Amino acid sequence: MAEITITQASNDSTEIVISGELTIYCAMEVFQQHFKQLKVRGLTLLKLDNITEIDTAGVQLLIMLMKIVNEQNCHYQVISLGEALTDYSNLFQLNRYFIDFEDIKVMTTSKTEEE
Amino acid sequence: MSLDDVLQTFYVEAQEHLESMENVLLKMDEGECDNDMLNDIFRSAHTIKGSAGIFGLDHIVSFTHVVENVLDRARDNEIKIEKNLIDVMFKCRDHMQNLVAVTLDEFNGQAELQKNDGDLLAALAPWASADSKQTQAKTSTVTASQNDNKLTDEGDNNKLWHISLRLSTDCLRNGMDPLSFIKFLSSLGKIKHIETIIDAFPDSAHFDAETLYLAYEIALQSDASLEEIENTFMFVQDDSDITILSASAKVDDYLALIDKRPEDNQRLADILVNCGSLTRDALEQGLISQNKKNSTPDKQAATDKLAGQAVEQDKTSESTVSIDLTKQNKNKSSEGKQIRIDSNRLDHLINLIGELVINQQRIELLSKDTKNPALTEAVDDFDNFTNQIRDAALSLRMVPIGATFQRFKRLVRDTAQALGKDVELIIEGADTELDRLMVEKLGDPLTHIVRNAMDHGLESIEARQAAGKNIKGQLKLAAYHEGGHIIIAISDDGNGIDKVRVREKAIEKGLINPDAQLSDNELFHLIFHPGFSTATEVTNLSGRGVGMDVVKRNVEALQGSIDISSQTGVGSEFKIRLPLTLAIIDGFHVEASGTHFIIPQATIIECINLANHQDIKGRHCINLRGDMIPYLKMSEIFKLTPSHPQTLANNKIPSSVKRELVIVKFGNDVAGIAVDRLNGEIQTVVKPLGPIFKALKGIGGSSLLGNGEIAFILDIPQLIELAIANEIVNKTGKSKNSE
């Protein structure tokens, strides 16, 4: 089960730390409890290096999280990936989603500044 | 289809492939070996490996990879199929069966299984290539995160495939993760490019965390066949849209793919170009070519947009292999002659039809009371259709005995090897069909009889030579129909049962008196006594006297019987006689002292009026056209209280009650069943007896009649045996075994 910590920093930014297993077994709960009503401010920093296991449902959650941030006209930055996500990302050649963010920009209407 | 269902399908299919492997190995063991056989066994191993890979069952993948490698080398004539290799392959096949039975975690927790894994891989080493030996060295304990991208260094000779995946949106919910497929594809070759398309993502308000929104365009470089790539998706292809294009696919095929997909055409075209599956030039030229063929204004505009600019050049593509799996599967299913059905569903159907039959009988009774001709006619039609439905449903559960017989090839081979005997197994009547439930329960009794025949019946090579027999002993398994029953015959051309030895042993164990006069049949049946064995030495195969009594009990539990015939020096035959089915039978409804009984119709020869025949010398025996027929009175056997007051008062049968005699036959034995009334044919839904009735001899089951009353189904073999035994006692004043 994944642990989600959301911290609103004083410098008008939000830090989201995800730890543990981000898989189909908890995807619904994580989305309902933490992401669906998520409100972010300014730049959102995503710290993902403590994710110990991730599957496609988990990756979809992360993509949805990025989309939610963009829907609120905010920007995000992935500050760490971790081994599990890196492995998945390498296999699916997804690095641009987590590093370059080109496609997230394409699919969302807002623009990101992190590029 | 849920993950459990898919896994179940994997286990069933793996079992089929393992059986296929065993059959090929048995043929190879007999000296046959051709390319088709090598391809068959390779394909079986490869499919098991592939399917296991999809489920992350890496312990199966790593072991089977080496087996597959050896078989592949044999296919390429790099190694020869020799006796030693066949022996090792048999063991590998058995080990694969054990591997399929456990999960990865269970495998990692079982030291013995891992040791066997290592031992067999070492045994395969002389035939395996260096590449597979390296793989083997790495995989003594397999981890779930294994992602063996083994073909990354392969040359450019591999073909480039394009795979366009739009998996079912329920894929994740059903326990299937695209991760498994991509991992498996990477084991087939090198994934040159994979484009994960996120266009189908909804906004956050409509997001369902368990729905798959991702789509994939994949360029795979691999020498795998189309079938192998297709098989990657065999468990999800029903609800998915999967297109696989080969390297020689035409540009038109890619354009058709672009048209078919919901994504923006320009974007998808870019993705295909990014994948390297087609070049920008080829795309543009293809569009122009298509443009020329379909020059309507709308299409012109669309293709112009894609092409960007017009190029005045025709291009002729190479041959096409474009496979739309969805369409292909539809074709497959329409052409398919067989479907796989969960046996529990069939059992449920048979149970429901049993209830239908009972209700139909109730309606029939009620309609008779109304005396309405139109209703009676309609009910007769209903009865006719119910019979047809019953027969059709029961036939669904019938399976050929052949598959069961085939399994004995391996048993015979291994047993013969262990005993140092040369034995040929002959199978006859493999197409004979039997109720699946009975086939399942026949396995153990048959195994006991076959082992006994090989251990005690068939002689050693030296003994056969000395007796002037062919050194190769013959063991025959045959199945055929006889008088409404199925006969399973197990015969051998061995030494036969030693009658003197059986007699001595029976006397020693106190089963018979030393001066008892027994027929051969009675003597042979003594071997079914618990603990009876004439073997002078106990082997690990047989001789402990455990088994033959269990064999008899198991066969009788199936409403069957066993006959034995044996001739010294010539051989023995065990004949198992079984009913066709145990679920719903054609019965004959009779009454005795107000109690209802059902006699299985297949056993009935005729019905006669008992009043027209005189008992012989006061015994329950009549002369029927020259044959002495012993009979049993149901009222006496089951100690039934007469339901007629007159009978109670003077112990005489009232004139309103006719004595009827139903002549029944089982095997070669004939007897009569005396009853008060014959009520006629009836479809009988067989219900098992409760534990309280288990000890009751002569009753095999029960059934519910249309009027709600219970009828007892007579166990004819037991009753005939009892009638004959009674006749012997009445005739001689002694029981048959203690004369």
ipTM (interface pTM): 0.88
pLDDT of residue A99: 64
Asked if A27's CB is within 8 angstroms of B199's CB, the reply is: no
Does residue A48 have a pLDDT over 50?
Answer: yes
Chain A: closest CA distance from residue B230 (Å): 20
Query: What residues does each domain of chain A span?
Result: 3-107
Which amino acid would we find at residue A51? Answer: I
Asked if A107's CB is within 8 angstroms of B199's CB, the reply is: yes
B contact test, residue of A35, A60, A108 with most B CBs within 10 A: A60
The answer for A 24-83 residues in CB contact with B (under 8 A) is: 24, 27-28, 30-32, 35-36, 55-57, 59-61, 63-64, 67-68, 71
CA A71, CA B127: separation in Å to the nearest integer?
61
B contact test, residue of A33, A64, A102 with most B CBs within 10 A: A64
Nearest CB neighbour to A68, from listed B147, B178, B204: B204
Asked if B209's CB is within 8 angstroms of A68's CB, the reply is: no
- The strand ranges marked E within chain A are 3-9, 13-22, 43-54, 75-80
Residue B525 CB coordination number (10 Å): 17
For residues A98 and A89, the answer to whether their CB atoms sit within 8 Å is: yes
Asked if A60's CB is within 8 angstroms of B214's CB, the reply is: yes
Contacts of B196 in chain A (CB under 8 A): 92-94, 97
- Does A9 touch chain B if contact means CB atoms closer than 8 Å? no
Asked if B195's CB is within 8 angstroms of A93's CB, the reply is: yes
Chain A: closest CA distance from residue B147 (Å): 10
Count of A-B CB contacts under 8 Å:
73
CATH of domain B399-579: 3.30.565.10
Does residue A30 have a pLDDT over 90?
Answer: yes
Tell me which residues of chain B have a C-beta less than 8 Å from any C-beta of chain A.
Answer: 145, 147, 172-173, 175, 177-179, 182-183, 186, 191, 193-196, 198-199, 201, 203-204, 207-210, 212-214
Q: How many residues does chain A have?
A: 115
**Quick one: closest CA in A to B173, which residue?**
A24
pLDDT of residue B666: 80
Nearest CB neighbour to A31, from listed B177, B198, B207: B207
Contacts of B198 in chain A (CB under 8 A): 63, 97, 103, 107
Compute φ and ψ for B585, nearest 5 degrees. -120, 160
Beta pairing class for B433-435 and B710-714: unpaired
> Six-digit token pair at B117?
């894994």
- Any idea which fold A3-107 has? Transcription Regulator spoIIAA (3.30.750)
Residue of B562, B572, B599 whose CA lies nearest to B487 = B562
Asked if A97's CB is within 8 angstroms of B204's CB, the reply is: no
Chain A: closest CA distance from residue B443 (Å): 42
Asked if B207's CB is within 8 angstroms of A64's CB, the reply is: yes
Asked if A64's CB is within 8 angstroms of B204's CB, the reply is: yes
Asked if A24's CB is within 8 angstroms of B212's CB, the reply is: no
- Residue listed under structure tokens 């590449």: B131
Q: In sequence order, what are the beta bridge partners of A114?
A: none
Does residue A115 have a pLDDT over 80?
Answer: no
Q: Which CATH number fits the domain B3-138, given the four candidates 1.20.120.160, 3.40.50.300, 2.60.40.10, 3.40.50.620?
A: 1.20.120.160
Q: What is the pLDDT of residues B620-634, one digit of tens each?
A: 888 888 888 899 988
Asked if A92's CB is within 8 angstroms of B182's CB, the reply is: yes
Asked if A61's CB is within 8 angstroms of B177's CB, the reply is: no
**Quick one: closest CA in B to A30, which residue?**
B209
b or e along B653-682 (b: 16 or more beta carbons within 10 Å of the residue's beta carbon)?
A: beeebebbbbbbbbbebbbbbbbbbbeeeb
pLDDT confidence band for A102 (50 / 70 / 90) = very low
- Any idea which fold B584-738 has? SH3 type barrels. (2.30.30)
Asked if B196's CB is within 8 angstroms of A60's CB, the reply is: no
Contacts of A89 in chain B (CB under 8 A): none
Nearest CB neighbour to B198, from listed A24, A31, A63: A63
Contacts of A67 in chain B (CB under 8 A): 201, 203-204
Asked if A91's CB is within 8 angstroms of B182's CB, the reply is: yes
Nearest CB neighbour to B210, from listed A28, A63, A97: A28
Asked if A91's CB is within 8 angstroms of B179's CB, the reply is: yes
Which amino acid would we find at residue B264? Answer: D
Q: In sequence order, what are the beta bridge partners of B164?
A: B217, B243
Question: Which contacts of B286-294 are long-range, i.e. CB under 8 A and separated by 24 or more positions?
Answer: B286/B250, B286/B251, B286/B252, B286/B254, B286/B255, B286/B315, B286/B317, B287/B251, B287/B255, B288/B312, B288/B313, B288/B314, B289/B251, B289/B252, B289/B314, B289/B315, B290/B252, B290/B255
- Fill in the DSSP letter of residue B528: G
Chain A: closest CA distance from residue B199 (Å): 7
Question: Cα B633 from chain centroid?
Answer: 42
Q: In sequence order, what are the beta bridge partners of A20?
A: A51
Biggest CA–CA distance in chain B, Å, is 116
Does residue A15 have a pLDDT over 50?
Answer: yes
Q: Which residues contact B378 (CB under 8 A, 6 or more apart)?
A: B367
Contacts of A71 in chain B (CB under 8 A): 203-204
| Mean per-residue pLDDT of chain A | 82
Asked if A88's CB is within 8 angstroms of B210's CB, the reply is: no
Chain B: closest CA distance from residue A89 (Å): 10
Asked if B213's CB is within 8 angstroms of A57's CB, the reply is: no
CA B344, CA A11: separation in Å to the nearest integer?
64
Low-confidence ranges of chain B (pLDDT < 70): 1-5, 130-158, 289-337, 483-484, 533-547, 642-658, 694, 731-739
Instruction: Give chain A's radius of gyration (CA, Å).
Output: 13
Chain A: closest CA distance from residue B252 (Å): 27
Asked if B204's CB is within 8 angstroms of A71's CB, the reply is: yes
Contacts of B147 in chain A (CB under 8 A): 87, 91
pLDDT of residue B643: 60
Q: What is the pLDDT of residues B259-276, one digit of tens each?
A: 888 877 777 788 888 777
CA B483, CA A4: separation in Å to the nearest integer?
74
Chain A: closest CA distance from residue B166 (Å): 14
**Quick one: closest CA in B to A58, which residue?**
B209
